[in-house]
Amino acid sequence: AQSVTQLDSQVPVFEEAPVELRCNYSSSVSVYLFWYVQYPNQGLQLLLKYLSGSTLVKGINGFEAEFNKSQTSFHLRKPSVHISDTAEYFCALSIQGAQKLVFGQGTRLTINP
Amino acid sequence: DAGVIQSPRHEVTEMGQEVTLRCKPISGHNSLFWYRQTMMRGLELLIYFNNNVPIDDSGMPEDRFSAKMPNASFSTLKIQPSEPRDSAVYFCASILQGAYNEQFFGPGTRLTVL
């Protein structure tokens, strides 16, 4: 079975500081990897995805993530955060050829002024 | 496109009442997913449909929950009878099969059962 572990349930950072949200996954077969963002009282919105190819993936709002197969990780980074980045972030995977997403428990990112 | 549409956005009901949540997927999408989100359990997949046919309902918590998709543009999730522990935010998502599984989520329905 596949699983996703988000190592931090909450991450507080100051505005304009860099941030990294950690995600590790477990799967015996090839997967696609995703990061979704959920702003307060809204649904989930895709930030970025890794399908194949370059291990560094760039997404919306200045976020990027790096796929590391040997460490089974897909950490999300932003060099300088803004108050508007306050949200919950979900890492997810799907098996290639399947449709279900397996989600991590989420990381709440709080930006302090 | 208007995106995935869910109604109602908020529902408050009393224990024992029937609750029906509605979802309209993005036009042309052929797979639809129902999720439940709570603080305790996070985001859980309840059921999903391909081409209006239920494929996996293993996440449906018990017989009080049922879901239907009578056509490609409409799905319902029904709880009968409702219980306080059903209080949660229910999301619907749709995808175009083959499009690398990128799911598009609706805004959710916040259900409170008193």
pLDDT at residue B97, rounded to an integer: 73
pLDDT at residue B83, rounded to an integer: 96
pLDDT at residue A98, rounded to an integer: 76
Measure the CA–CA gap between A74 and B78, rounded to whole angstroms.
Answer: 36
Mean pLDDT estimate for chain A = 93
Assess B18–A contact: CB distance below 8 Å, yes or no: no
Give the confidence band of B23 by pLDDT, cuts at 50, 70, 90: very high
Residue pair B90/B111 in contact (Cβ under 8 Å)? The answer is: yes
Q: Is the pLDDT of residue B99 over 80?
A: no
Residue type, B63: D
Assess A58–B contact: CB distance below 8 Å, yes or no: no
pLDDT at residue B93, rounded to an integer: 96
pLDDT at residue A97, rounded to an integer: 72
The beta-carbon neighbor of A103 closest among B42, B100, B106 is B42
> Which residues of chain B does A106 touch, with a Cβ-Cβ cutoff of 8 Å?
42-43
Give rounded-to-5 percent helix, strand, coil for chain B: 5, 55, 45
pLDDT at residue B62, rounded to an integer: 85
Residue pair A5/A103 in contact (Cβ under 8 Å)? The answer is: no
The beta-carbon neighbor of A99 closest among B31, B91, B104 is B31
The count of other CB atoms within 10 Å of the CB of residue B20 is: 14
pLDDT tens-digit map of B35-64: 999 988 889 999 999 999 999 999 998 899
Assess A99–B contact: CB distance below 8 Å, yes or no: yes
Cα end-to-end span (Å), chain B: 36
Closest-CA distance, B15 to chain A, in angstroms, reads 24
Torsional class of B64: left (φ above 0), alpha (ψ -120 to 50), beta (otherwise):
alpha
Measure the CA–CA gap between B86 and B96, rounded to whole angstroms.
Answer: 29
Give the confidence band of A46 by pLDDT, cuts at 50, 70, 90: very high
> How confident is the model over A61-78, as a mean pLDDT?
96
pLDDT at residue A52, rounded to an integer: 86
**CB–CB of B100 and A49 under 8 A?**
yes
Q: What is the DSSP string of B50-66?
A: ETTEEEE-TT--STTEE
Q: Is the pLDDT of residue A110 over 90?
A: yes
**Between residues A94 and A76, the one the model is more confident about:** A76
Give the confidence band of A99 by pLDDT, cuts at 50, 70, 90: confident
> Which residues of chain A does B95 touch, with a Cβ-Cβ cutoff of 8 Å?
99
